[in-house]
């Protein structure tokens, strides 16, 4: 088949592209920036913005299936930017599918679409959308997920996957941020409880997308449904973060901050940033405070049953691979600095 992968140059998207190519599929990636490293794998790369409906339609021409992975993630920024990319962009993807008669759409959603600020322990896909959200990202992703699932019908089969805390080698967001903050000694555990959370190694998340694609068809059991995707290994969030820190030889987190204090600090900083138009991002927000001080792990029985999903890479094996990748990256940096005559 020929697949379009929006966000094909991103962290998860590029792994999906690689896995599709490895099994012999033709792939076209769609991203806002150039990604020659992905093109070098054999993918056709198109540059464009999800907010540009014509660009999306052009990229989808001739494809059999769309993996809509691209999104604006984050915990801060104008609502309009999140809405334009996550909601309007998704509408453009659906319109492109209909225009070109593409009958399958695999949408990358997020478990945060069901997060209401309280503990989520072993919840399944019956968990409802909350009445309000603490950040623009989960709100707009929930709107987009609803649009995708409601679009499922006789001419287009859709499915939504909700991978939680994707990590692994090449991650440009979560891993570098944790390691940077850990080196600076600014990481804190929030609340008194262990707060177990789920995560998913990036290759496992990509595998789930291919499994869904292969089982998706109009009228199929998975059409019009959403699925949580994790490693199935919930652990205290501090333990998970300390494992990540250990891959870079960074000392573990030892300090704790009351959850209520972190939430109040987040509310205060949000207000200050909005009132005074401060640049950048608050060090903590209400959403982050709730995410770090609550449990959120999910029942993946449905994904195992309906998709045949089995996490192939355990957390410990993933951490070993991450440590190896980080070690190679440091060696490369030292080599480059030495060649440039920099005192390392």
Catalytic residues, by residue number, are 137
Q: Helix, strand or coil for residue 157?
A: strand
Q: Please say whether the beta carbons of 175 and 240 come within 8 A.
A: no
Output 257-263 pairs: Cβ under 8 A, ≥24 positions apart. Answer: 257/188, 257/189, 257/190, 258/190, 258/191, 258/192, 259/190, 259/191, 259/192, 259/289, 259/293, 262/188, 262/190, 262/289, 262/292, 262/293, 263/289, 263/290, 263/293
Handedness of CA 130, 211, 324, 339 (dihedral sign): negative
How many whole angstroms separate alpha carbon 103 and alpha carbon 153? 9
Cα end-to-end span (Å), the chain: 49
Task: Show the tokens assigned to 292.
Answer: 């770090």
How many whole angstroms separate alpha carbon 258 and alpha carbon 177? 22
Partner residues linked to 225 by β-bridges: 159
DSSP 310: -
Q: Please say whether the beta carbons of 287 and 82 come within 8 A.
A: no
């Amino acid at each position: 088949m020929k697949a379009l992968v929006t966000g094909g140059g991103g962290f998860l998207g590029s792994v999906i592209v690689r896995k599709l190519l490895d099994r012999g599929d033709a792939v076209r990636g769609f991203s806002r920036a150039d990604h020659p490293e992905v093109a070098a794998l054999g993918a056709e790369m198109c540059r464009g913005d999800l907010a540009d409906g014509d660009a999306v339609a052009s990229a989808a021409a001739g494809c059999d299936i769309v993996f809509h992975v691209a999104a604006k993630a984050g915990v801060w920024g104008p609502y309009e930017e999140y809405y334009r990319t996550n909601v309007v962009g998704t509408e453009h993807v659906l319109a492109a599918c209909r225009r070109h008669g593409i009958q399958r759409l695999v949408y990358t959603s997020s478990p945060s679409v069901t997060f209401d600020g309280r503990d989520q322990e072993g919840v399944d896909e019956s968990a409802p959308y909350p009445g309000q959200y603490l950040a623009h990202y989960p709100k707009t992703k929930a709107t987009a997920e609803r649009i995708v699932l409601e679009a499922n019908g006789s001419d287009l089969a859709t499915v939504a996957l909700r991978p939680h805390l994707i990590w692994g080698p090449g991650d440009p967001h979560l891993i570098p941020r944790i390691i940077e903050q850990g080196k600076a000694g600014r990481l804190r555990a929030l609340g008194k409880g262990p707060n177990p959370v789920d995560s998913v190694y990036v290759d496992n998340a990509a595998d789930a997308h291919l499994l869904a694609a292969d089982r998706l068809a109009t009228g199929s059991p998975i059409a019009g449904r959403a699925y949580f995707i994790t490693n199935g290994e919930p652990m205290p969030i501090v333990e998970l973060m300390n494992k990540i820190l250990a891959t870079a030889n960074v000392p573990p987190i030892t300090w704790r901050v009351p959850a209520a204090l972190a939430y109040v600090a987040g509310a205060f900083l949000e207000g200050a940033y909005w009132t005074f138009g401060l640049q950048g991002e608050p060090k903590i927000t209400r959403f982050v405070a709730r995410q770090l001080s609550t449990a959120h792990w999910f029942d993946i029985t449905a994904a195992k049953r309906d998709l045949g999903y089995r996490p192939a890479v355990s957390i410990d094996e993933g951490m070993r691979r991450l440590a190896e990748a980080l070690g190679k990256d440091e060696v490369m940096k030292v080599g480059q600095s030495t060649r440039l005559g920099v005192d390392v």
